[in-house]
Homo-oligomer: A and B are copies of this chain.
Amino acid sequence: MALIVQKFGGTSVGTPDRIRNAARRIIQAANEGNQVVAVVSAMGKTTDELVKLAGEITSKPSKREMDMLLTTGEQITISLLAMALEEAGYPAESLTGWQAGIQTESLHGNARILDIDTNRLRTLLNKGKIAVVAGFQGWTASHNISTLGRGGSDTTAVALAAALRADKCEIYTDVTGVFTTDPRVVKHARKLSAISYDEMLELANLGAGVLHPRAVEFAKNYGVKLEVRSSMEQERGTIVEEEAEMENNLVVRGLAFEGNVTKITIEDLPNGLNTLSSVFSLLADNNINVDIIIQSVNKQEKTNISFSIDSSIFDDTVKLLEQNKVQLGYGQILHEDGLAKVSIVGSGMISNPGVAAQMFKTLSDQDIMIKMVSTSEIKVSTVVGQQDMIKAIETLHDVFELDARVPAQQA
């Protein structure tokens, strides 16, 4: 008998009808002879409504009380889903985070899972019941209710799968899997039948958005086999595992992109040992999220640093840098907005040094000017003009033959 963890996000349990639909997916797995642990998020907009309610009381709620408040969202979903399963004749029991034994750091709002005591879950499964666990939440050593922060329910599902040594962790979402790139932009985008953790991490960080990077990391660390699939359709999804099958020498697995990038250059910084750390510690301490960083040091007294940010935080970033001009000791700040980032991702790149070159040539053949470049072992990112983004993606999708392969395997 296999053990499967199934995770249903807020959209997949947003209404009583959708909760019934999630129940059907669980029952299907149970009927196939599996033990099932379902992990759920709060229904649709519940969390937003609770946040709004807190806002009517105070503009600075304590994190402990926010956790107390927000965790009711998942608690509502687990009870309703358990009811739906029982209504269909399947014995089920709902468990809050603490009841499921999920112990976290003594932190609120963004706690990490420290340990999971699976005794209660095991007992419940061994009685032939379906366990329905509240995602996103746990308890601290002093028995306060804590939350896991962004992507929390994905993390709960993967952590439970790891602790229970589940055979698979299925992430149900509103797309049918992980695509070579965003199918809303590139019509020929193809669903991948498999992808590696690292590739998924690069795609997730770049905004593919179907699976939280934190959960992918957790899955990678504990070797949990994931499947990203649709809660509404029956077709098989995308398997995420350590070594995804190398479908016909697929060097590039997918394309990611972001359309709202600004490049900032700080000129004439002192060329010292701690220049980089001064600049980026300042930005990090003020929650300014920096993406690509480029510094090319020459043997001179002064140096320039360039980095890219999301355009929405441009004003804050410049203000902060100007307030600290004296300490940092730079000359002036330049910027260029209206940019976009286009990345190719694939673990096959490690052994194919020509991939980056092929990307650059493809873009230059299209008269697309590359403003910044950043590379990792399995990713090459370029910053280009916003107006060139779609053309860049479509051309790269063709060049790397992402839609020319065998279609993903259908269930």
A-side residues, CB < 8 A to B, are: 16, 19-20, 50, 53-54, 56-58, 60-62, 64-66, 68-69, 71-72, 75-76, 78-80, 82-84, 86-87, 93-94, 96, 99, 120, 143-145
Establish whether residues A83 and B57, one from each chain, have CB atoms under 8 Å apart when the complex forms. Answer: yes
Instruction: Give CA–CA (A83, B51) in the complex, Å.
Output: 12
Interchain CB contact (< 8 A) of A79 among B65, B86, B120:
B65
Q: Which residues of B contact A16 (CB under 8 A)?
A: 53, 56-57
Q: What are the residues of chain B within 8 A of A94 when measuring CB–CB?
A: 65, 68
Question: Is the pair A69, B76 in contact by a Cβ cutoff of 8 Å?
Answer: yes
With a CB–CB cut-off of 8 A, which chain B residues contact A65? 79-80, 82-83, 86, 94
Listed A/B pairs (20) with beta-carbon separation below 8 Å: A20-B57, A50-B76, A54-B80, A57-B80, A57-B87, A58-B86, A65-B83, A65-B86, A66-B79, A68-B75, A68-B78, A68-B94, A69-B75, A69-B80, A69-B83, A72-B72, A72-B76, A96-B145, A99-B144, A120-B143
Taking the closest CB of chain B, its distance from the CB of A364, in whole angstroms, is 56
A143-B79 contact given A64-B93, A68-B94, CB 8 Å threshold: no
Does A143 contact B68, Cβ atoms closer than 8 Å? Answer: no
Q: Knowing that A60-B87, A65-B83 touch, tell me 6 more A-B residue pairs with CB under 8 angstroms.
A: A19-B57, A58-B87, A61-B83, A68-B78, A68-B94, A69-B83
Q: What is the distance, in angstroms, from A129's C-beta to the closest C-beta of chain B?
A: 11
Write the chain B residue with the least CB distance to A134.
B68
Query: Which of A65, A75, A93, A145 gathers the greatest number of chain B CB atoms within 10 Å?
Result: A65
Q: How far is the CB of A210 from chain B (nearest CB, A)?
A: 27
Complex-state Cα separation, A16 to B71, whole angstroms: 19
Across the two chains, which residue of chain B brings its CB closest to A76? B72
Cα distance, A68 to B57, chains bound together (Å): 26
Residues of B within 8 A of A72 (CB): 72, 75-76
Return chain B residues, CB-CB under 8 Å to A87. Answer: 57-58, 60
Docked Cα-Cα span, A56 to B64, in Å, equals 32
CA of A79 to CA of B69, assembled, Å: 5
Contacts of A80 in B (CB 8 A): 53-54, 57, 65, 69
A53 touches B76 (CB 8 A): yes
Q: Shortest Cβ distance from A179 into chain B, in angstroms?
A: 33
Q: Which residues of chain B are within 8 angstroms of A79 by Cβ–Cβ distance?
A: 54, 65-66, 68-69
Q: Please give, as numbers and ranges, the residues of chain B lying within 8 Å of A61 by CB-CB distance.
A: 83, 86
B-chain residues with CB within 8 Å of residue A66 when the two chains form the complex:
79
User: How far, in angstroms, from A86 to B59 measured CA to CA in the complex?
Assistant: 11
Question: Which B residues are in CB contact (< 8 Å) with A75?
Answer: 68-69, 71-72, 75
Find chain B residues with CB under 8 A from A60 CB.
87
CB distance from A41 to the nearest CB of B (A): 15
Chain B residues with CB under 8 Å of A82's CB are 62, 65, 68
Separation of A391 and B62 alpha carbons in the complex (Å): 56
In the complex, what residues of B have CB within 8 A of residue A53's CB? 16, 76, 80
Closest Cβ of chain B to A269, distance in Å, is 42
Find chain B residues with CB under 8 A from A78 CB: 68
The answer to whether B64 touches A84, judged by C-beta atoms less than 8 angstroms apart, is no
Residues A143 and B99 in contact, CB atoms below 8 Å apart = yes
B residues in contact with A69, CB < 8 Å: 75-76, 79-80, 83
| Residue in B closest to A92 when the chains form the complex, CB atoms | B65
Which single member of B20, B62, B96, B145 contacts A86 (CB below 8 Å)?
A: B62
Q: How far is the CB of A40 from chain B (nearest CB, A)?
A: 12
Cα-based distance from A57 to B17 in the complex (angstroms):
8
Most buried by B among A19, A58, A60: A58
Give A22 Cβ to nearest chain B Cβ, in Å.
Answer: 11
Across the interface, A84 reaches (CB within 8 A) one of B20, B58, B96, namely: B58
CA distance A64 to B75 in the complex (A): 13
Q: How far is the CB of A257 from chain B (nearest CB, A)?
A: 39
Q: Which B residue sits closest to A54, measured CB to CB? A: B83
